[in-house]
Structures are given as structure tokens and as C-alpha cells.
Chain A
Amino acid sequence: MADDMFQSLADSIPSHLRNEVERELINGWRLNEVKATVKAKELASFGYRNAVNTIDGLGSLSARIPLDAYHYWGQRLGYECWDDKQFLNEYKRDNPEVAVSNYAKKTVVRGSVFTADGFIT
């Protein structure tokens, strides 16, 4: 991605400004990388404490991707990469913080369905 980006810069920006603008963008991405890591840890913490329900029709929440990470890979590989199940599974495997696994449990007692909180649904 970096090569493409710098080539674009080279095409678009006056030569004497290239280094400075490159530096600006590189620092921005590095900063975003750190922020994405922090965000992923926040998401993991939130997911650990909160069970998630399935929204009928919409489906199950499968992952919550930090914005920086989502667009980084989208720009690098094309946003179609997120349609690819294998890519998504590998991404969740390599970044377990973003995977959602804490689903609300339901208990059935003689035909009545109870939520994790003990309420009848």
C-alpha cells in the first residue's frame, strides 16, 4: 500500500513538498495503528463484560473492527476483502480482540425460555 500511496503523492504534489507530506501521512498512519490497538482492547473488554443478542433478520454480531484497521485493509487490499470469509476468519484469528464470542445464553426449562438474567423471554 505504501508504494501506491507514495506514487500517488509523487504524481499529485509538487516535488519540493513530497517529503513533508509523506511524513505527515506516515505519522498519521502510525498514530492510527496505535489507536486501533487501543480501540481493539476496549472492544474486547466491552465484549467480555456484555453478552450480545442476535437481531432477527440482521443476524449475529460477528466482529467489531476498529475503524482504522477496517479502512487500512480496505485501502490496501480493496474493500472486497471484508466480503471474503477466509480473510475475516483469519483476521479474527490474528486479532481475537475484535471477534465477538460472548453471546447471550438462553436456558429452556420445561418449555419456557430464560435469558441470562433469569427473565422469561
Chain B
Amino acid sequence: MASLTERNIVSGKREALADLISLVDAKDTPLTSMAPKAAKPGNTLFRWQVDSLPNAVVNTTGVVDGTDVNVASDPVNFVKDGATQYRYELSNHIQEFRKPIRVSPLTIDIAVVAGVRDELANNISKGMTMLKRDMEKTFGSYNLPKADNGSSQGYVSRGLDSWIRSVKTTGGSVGNDNYLDVPTAFLTPTTSVVGNATATVESSTASSTLTEVTVQDMLTSIYQQTGQFRSYDAIVGPVLKRGFTNLLYTNRSSGGAETQAQIRTINRDAADSSYISSVDIFEGDFGQIRLHPSLWLKNTYCGYVIPMELLEIRYGGSVAGIKELTDNGGGPARLINAIASLCVKNPLAFGKFDYAS
């Protein structure tokens, strides 16, 4: 029976442009391409819950047989127990991205450019790529959420770097993180963030300090939060990716009193390119980890360890599209726009290599 149900409506689905945005320029924009796409945010400000449990304790007293529960003092409240709160709300703003394009009449009618059959189509294609790259750069940034003030400031979504912080910023280059801030209990643990950022100063740690121990400590910290062996995607800057490659293809001696410390036995030619743009898949004790190179992070040295199912990009479907603008003689114009926001479901399960050089 050919019933017309929602899933049968293919044409005109609101997610159409979101799908296309995900497809375009995928290899260069891994964050926006791989993050699960979620339903549109319910409002310009949207919220979700994060929850936790109290620490487990060793029960040394047991339960005396035949005793009743003391209903006044025994029950535990897992939402807010006295001064301890277990459930919080996180929130973020949506952000609009725009890329208007226009092609002049002379470009369309007169100019003949090799390899380009239609300048308008070519520009739409490039406009979508640029829109995607803007989104990638913005979502990977240390942007703090901002509300529209009606004059100089539009809605801004909190970026990934700001979601994965162990210390709330109170000033400095990032600004004061006092609006829609992450509750202290759900800040990413210090042990999951490699770097020395403080509340007012960004990290200055060098990526050359990356060692196996650094990686182990971070993954152990993430495991302590999640208690699960799972797959992680690590989106890393090219220099950090090269740091991993160096760990792979060289050995360092532990260095004793009778030996030179940090002897490197290099089993490849020094002239070889040590950076190859590929997704490197590791199989280890903590599950699978995939390293993705990205050029759109806050710098080329940093990296983020992401359990991808805890990340979402929420698209405002009803206003995403390619709109035809009026042509008043200057040539046909189009507006490519998308409204989206980054949702980090729980910052505790993430990790960050906060390198600055």
C-alpha cells in the first residue's frame, strides 16, 4: 500500500540543505561533516540536561536484618541533595551563517572562462563551500555564546574549544565566560585537557611536549569519566598530527645514567614527508581512535578528542536554503544561508590537546 507517511516525503524535507552542507567539502571540514545532525533548535536559545550520580562508596556496615528504612534520612535525592546538585541544564544559542553571491551580467553574457560553464552555478557551489568552512571554523573556535542585541551583535553559538575547558575564563583573549556558562561540576576535568590555560591566559604549552604518557593520561581521564571503551574521533591540527606521526615512526630510549637521554632511533629517511593527510585509525585498549587532520581549528597545534555521539549540530531547517535575491540590474544574486548551533551533550567525556606552538 502506497501510504503517504512522513518518511515517504522525500522532496521538500527541511533537512535538505543540512544534508548538502554535510556533504560539501567533507574531507576538509571533518567536524561539521561528521557531527550528527539533529532536529532544529526549538528556539534561539535551546537547552538540554546533563546528569550525574554521586560517587559509589564501600559499604562497610551492611544492613541489619529486620530493620526498617528511615524515611526521614535514608532516601537519596539524585537531583539536588542538600547542597549537592546532580542535574543541570546546558544551553547554547543558534547562529546564522550567510554567504551572498552575485554574478554580473557581463560575467554571464560576455566573459568565457575555461572550465566554467555557468558562473552562477559555479558561485553557488563555491558559496556553499565557503559557508561550510565558516561554520567549521566557528564551531571549532573559542567563541562564547552571545545574544542578539539588535544593533552590533547577533546570536553566536559557543564553540567547541570553549565547551572543552577545565577552567572558566574570566578575561583575557577569550573573554568573560559568565553567560550560559557550563556548571563547574560539568567542566571537562583538568586531566582531560593537556595545556596550562588559566582563567585569564590561554595555554602556552608546546606541541613538542607530546609523549605517549600525555596521550595515555588523557585517555585514562576520559575513561574515568565515561567508564566505557568506545570509539573516539580526534580532530587535530596538522602540526599535532605530525607529532603523532613522530611518535609512531621513531623510538625514544628511556635514557639511563650510562646512555644519552632521548636517543631517537629513526627508522625512516629524515627527508620523508612526515605529514600525510589521511585518517589514521588506531586500535587500542580504549577502543578505536581516529585522527582527522583539520585546518580550521583555532591553531594548527591543538586537537580535540570527541565521542561523536555526544556532539550534535542542530540545524534550523525552515530557514536554511538558497534564496533568490532581487536583480536590479547588477546581475542575478543568491543568498546561501544556514542556521545552526553546536550542542555538546556532556563536556565531561571530551578531551583537548591545548597546544599553542
Residues of A at under 8 Å CB distance from B? 4-5, 7-14, 17, 20-21, 23-25, 32, 39, 42-43, 46, 49-53, 55-68, 70-71, 74-75, 79, 82-83, 88, 98, 104, 115-117, 119-121
- Evaluate contact between B34 and A25: CB separation under 8 angstroms: no
7 A-B Cβ contacts within 8 A?
A: A9-B20, A12-B322, A20-B118, A51-B267, A59-B284, A75-B22, A79-B34
Chain A contacts for B289, CB-based, 8 A: 58-59
Chain B contacts for A5, CB-based, 8 A: 19-20, 23
- Evaluate contact between A55 and B244: CB separation under 8 angstroms: yes
Chain A contact surface mostly: helix
- Evaluate contact between B278 and A65: CB separation under 8 angstroms: yes
- Evaluate contact between A66 and B16: CB separation under 8 angstroms: no
Among listed B46-54, B79-87, B121-129, B159-167, interface-contacting one: B121-129
A9-B20, A57-B219, A67-B27 provided; 20 other pairs, C-beta below 8 A? A4-B19, A8-B16, A11-B13, A17-B120, A17-B121, A17-B124, A25-B125, A32-B27, A42-B276, A55-B284, A57-B286, A58-B289, A59-B283, A64-B278, A65-B279, A65-B281, A67-B277, A74-B33, A82-B231, A120-B253
- Evaluate contact between B33 and A75: CB separation under 8 angstroms: yes
Which single residue of chain B is at the shortest CB-CB distance from A57?
A: B216
With the chains together, A47 CA to B16 CA distance in Å? 40
- Evaluate contact between A67 and B281: CB separation under 8 angstroms: no
- Evaluate contact between A21 and B277: CB separation under 8 angstroms: no
Chain B, interface size category, equals 35 or more
Q: Does B327 contact A (CB under 8 A)?
A: no
Chain B contacts for A20, CB-based, 8 A: 117-118, 120-122
- Evaluate contact between A55 and B248: CB separation under 8 angstroms: yes
- Evaluate contact between A71 and B124: CB separation under 8 angstroms: no
Which single residue of chain A is at the shortest CB-CB distance from B293?
A: A67
Given A59-B286, A60-B283, A117-B267, answer yes or no on A53-B248 (Cβ-Cβ < 8 Å). Answer: yes
Given A59-B289, A119-B263, answer yes or no on A8-B121 (Cβ-Cβ < 8 Å). Answer: no
Chain B contacts for A79, CB-based, 8 A: 34, 308
Given A11-B16, A62-B281, answer yes or no on A43-B249 (Cβ-Cβ < 8 Å). Answer: no
Q: Does B251 contact A (CB under 8 A)?
A: yes
CB-contact partner of B267 in A11, A14, A60, A104, under 8 A: A104
A58 → chain B, closest Cβ, in Å? 5
Chain A contacts for B13, CB-based, 8 A: 11
Q: Does B69 contact A (CB under 8 A)?
A: no
